[in-house]
Amino acid sequence: MTAPDFVKLPQPVLSGTVSLEQALLSRRSIRTYSRDALTVDDLTQLLWAAQGVTHPRGYRTAPSAGALYPLELYAVVGHVIGLPTGYYRYRCREHALERQSPRDLRTELCRAALGQRPVERAPVTFLLTAVYGRMTAKYGSRGVRYTDMEAGHAAQNLSLQATALDLKSVVIGAFQDSDVRQITALPKDEEPLYLVPVGR
């Protein structure tokens, strides 16, 4: 049985048991994970925290200059209970996943990330990319800075949500861009910015 190309996710939980202050105090970059899988509920919270829609006008969890939203978010799924292995794009407006490939790309991405093992060993590694043209069309070269700032906001949201779920994460920016682009078959106008492994 193959995974559907479009997977509707459960609705995110909007009230947690860990305060923002406690999440800030506890968040650390962790590079070692157990073999335990994540759940679809874990995944849905992490995706929503990074790029979820929070307003009828399409506003998201992370601020964006001009509300232009130049970021795209992908999940490289190895071990998630209730979701087949594969490479998925997060469709934030539908709060759904669109399968890009049924392959587990974590080992290839690990090589592209200079052999950093968390990329391969975490049950899920997130890929955050930028479409700079969405921002530079309005703000010129300054739009590159705004996009990079927004990526930092989204990655921090993801990291804090992981902490609140008693999960561990690390943000990784050291990788060969061209290799990541090739492995994930990114569109020509998308640039990879972050890899974020998450696990237990």
The band of 175, judged by pLDDT with boundaries at 50, 70 and 90, is very high
Instruction: Indicate the pTM of the whole model.
Output: 0.94
* pLDDT at position 2: 47
Tokens of 163: 């902490």
Displacement of CA 68 from its chain's centroid (Å): 18
Averaged pLDDT for residues 173-183 = 97
What's the rounded Cα separation, in Å, for the pair 83 and 46? 15
SS3 state of residue 87 = strand
Q: Which of 109, 119, 82 is nearest to 198 (CA)?
A: 119
Q: Tell me the domains of the chain and their CATH numbers.
A: 6-199 (3.40.109.10)
pLDDT value, residue 4:
64
Give the pLDDT confidence of 115-174 residue by residue, as tens digits.
999 999 999 999 999 999 999 999 999 999 999 999 999 999 999 999 999 999 999 999
Nearest-angstrom CA–CA distance, 23 and 18: 7
